[in-house]
């Protein structure tokens, strides 16, 4: 085979065989297919797409380029959860221990944030001593003993994905469904869980801007999971405004703690209970929302979270420490009315400028900076009411303050807001 022939075949709308896809991916990983040819192939896929069979073959060819974790030593149905990314998304911090509090094992590998989206590992690393690097043996042992562990993705898993994603990132071929689906699902399949909940975000702060595109991606990933024997459900969720109140690593940990102490906003509390119910059902555990809510706010989830933090070296005193940001800037409502828009992308970018996120992978993070919203879409405000607090280490540049203020949209009509848009199973 020759890479140029496969590129031309896909460029002209042809369908590659399983053998051709295996050859191309293994060749890319061993270096016999160079970056420039894989770039050309990715662009051909961008314009011509892939069939479901091709996408499945691509996914499994990628899985085969690295280790696959065997979780069979852990009893019960092992569960995992993945979000396609968003702003203020601290769901995993709460959902994983909440599900584990019902005796359902959660074995999760998470990633870091880039650009306007945050990463679960970055939030956990804002806790002094917390270890995200764990051996496979320690990872499995911890899930056996306490039912939950969240660690960084091993470099030995799905080598092709890391290489291909870096290439797509600089060749404008990120946002195409077959390549997104194969990237996500190759990692989830290699990570070894029996059941997978996919949180597919849609809207201003998400990669998927329309519900239609989110549905296509969800259907593709669910089908991929089911074809390899993994129980898989996708939930399309709203990312038109930041999720919850906080954006920023330390601030999001503190919000997660508030939610697990029954002090969080009702909307995000209810949202996490709904996700937990779906995840529990994937493990054949049927609980009412009332049961789940009780575990969330009654101390069971928090106890499990603390247990996980301690097991991975985290300092429980530091866990509850407030942000050490030296400057807190208050943003107040400019008029009476209702909050109608809080564009997630804009506020994610502002948080990144404060140091809470990375523009490029090599950027260091300021774990203490970020934003806490006191008002969200649909909330009533009077002129002068506190809308948000901005946490930083220096007095804000006037432009940051102006950019923030102009993106707080206030109108006369109360906007409706719901977190779950659709469930694909």
- Helix residue spans in 289-365 (DSSP H): 289-297, 300-311, 316-319, 344-354
Burial of 36 by CB count in 10 Å (0-12 exposed, 13-18 middle, 19+ buried)?
exposed
Q: How confident is the model at residue 306 (pLDDT cuts 50, 70, 90)?
A: very high
Q: Which helix (H) or strand (E) holds 198?
A: strand 195-202
Q: How confident is the model at residue 380 (pLDDT cuts 50, 70, 90)?
A: very high
DSSP state of 414: P
Residues of the chain with CATH 3.90.1170.30: 327-411
Higher pLDDT, 282 or 112: 282
Return the percentage of the chain with pLDDT > 70, whole number.
100
Radius of gyration of the chain (CA): 22
CA–CA separation, 189 vs 158, rounded Å?
10
Residues of the chain with CATH 3.40.1030.10: 79-318
Residues with active-site annotation: 82, 161, 168, 183, 187
302 pLDDT more than 80 = yes
- Helix residue spans in 197-355 (DSSP H): 211-227, 249-260, 266-282, 289-297, 300-311, 316-319, 344-354
Domain 79-318 has CATH 3.40.50.300: no
Q: How confident is the model at residue 85 (pLDDT cuts 50, 70, 90)?
A: confident
Contacts of 221 (CB under 8 A, 6+ apart): 181, 184, 185, 198, 200, 232, 234
Residues of the chain with CATH 1.20.970.10: 3-63
CA 210 to chain centre: 18
Question: pTM value?
Answer: 0.93
- Determine what percent of the chain falls in helix, strand and coil, rounding each to the nearest 5: 45, 15, 40
Please write the tens of the pLDDT for every residue from 119-164.
899 999 999 999 999 999 999 999 999 999 999 877 788 999 989 9
Helix axes of 300-311 and 91-100: crossing angle, nearest 10 degrees = 100
Residue 338 CB neighbour total at 10 angstroms: 17
Higher pLDDT, 357 or 131: 131
- Cα dist. 145→107, 141, 191, 194, 304 in Å? 12, 6, 19, 18, 11
CATH superfamily of the domain spanning 3-63: Transferase, Pyrimidine Nucleoside Phosphorylase; Chain C (1.20.970.10)
CATH of 327-411, one of 3.60.150.10, 2.115.10.20, 3.40.50.2300, 3.90.1170.30: 3.90.1170.30
């Amino acid at each position: 085979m020759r890479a140029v022939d496969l590129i031309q075949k896909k460029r002209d709308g042809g369908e590659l065989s399983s053998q051709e896809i295996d050859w191309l991916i293994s060749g890319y990983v061993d270096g016999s297919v160079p970056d420039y040819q894989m770039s050309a192939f990715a662009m051909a896929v961008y314009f011509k797409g892939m069939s479901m069979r091709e996408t499945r073959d691509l996914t499994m060819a990628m899985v085969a380029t690295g280790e696959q974790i065997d979780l069979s030593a852990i009893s019960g149905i092992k569960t995992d959860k993945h979000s396609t990314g968003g702003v203020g998304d601290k769901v995993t911090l709460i959902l994983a221990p909440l599900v584990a509090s019902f005796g359902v094992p959660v074995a999760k590998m998470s990633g870091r944030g880039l650009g306007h989206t945050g990463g679960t590992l970055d939030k956990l690393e804002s806790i002094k001593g917390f270890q995200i690097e764990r051996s496979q043996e320690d990872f499995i042992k911890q899930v056996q003993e306490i039912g939950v562990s969240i660690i960084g993705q091993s470099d030995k898993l799905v080598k092709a994905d890391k290489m291909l994603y870096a290439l797509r990132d600089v060749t404008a071929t990120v946002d195409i469904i077959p390549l997104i689906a194969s990237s996500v699902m190759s990692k989830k399949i290699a990570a070894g869980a029996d059941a997978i909940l996919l949180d597919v975000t849609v809207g201003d702060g998400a990669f998927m801007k329309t519900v239609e595109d989110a549905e296509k991606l969800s259907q593709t990933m669910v089908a991929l999971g089911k074809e390899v024997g993994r129980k898989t459900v996708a939930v399309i969720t709203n990312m038109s405004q930041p999720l919850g109140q906080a954006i920023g690593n330390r601030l999001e940990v503190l919000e997660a703690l508030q939610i697990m102490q029954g002090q969080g906003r009702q909307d995000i509390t209810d949202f996490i209970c709904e996700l937990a119910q779906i995840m529990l059902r994937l493990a054949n555990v049927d609980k009412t929302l009332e049961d789940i809510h009780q575990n969330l706010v009654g101390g069971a989830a928090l106890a499990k979270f603390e247990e996980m933090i301690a097991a991975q070296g985290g300092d429980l005193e530091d866990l509850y420490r407030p942000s050490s940001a030296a400057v807190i800037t208050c943003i107040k409502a400019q008029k009476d009315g209702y909050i109608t828009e809080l564009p997630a992308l804009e506020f994610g970018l502002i948080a990144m400028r404060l140091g809470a996120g990375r523009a490029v992978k090599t950027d260091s993070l300021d774990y203490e900076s970020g934003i806490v919203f006191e008002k969200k879409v649909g909330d009533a405000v009077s002129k002068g009411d506190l809308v948000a607090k901005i946490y930083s280490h220096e007095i804000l540049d006037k432009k940051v303050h102006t950019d923030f203020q102009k993106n707080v949209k206030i109108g006369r009509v109360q906007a409706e807001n719901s977190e779950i848009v659709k469930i694909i199973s």
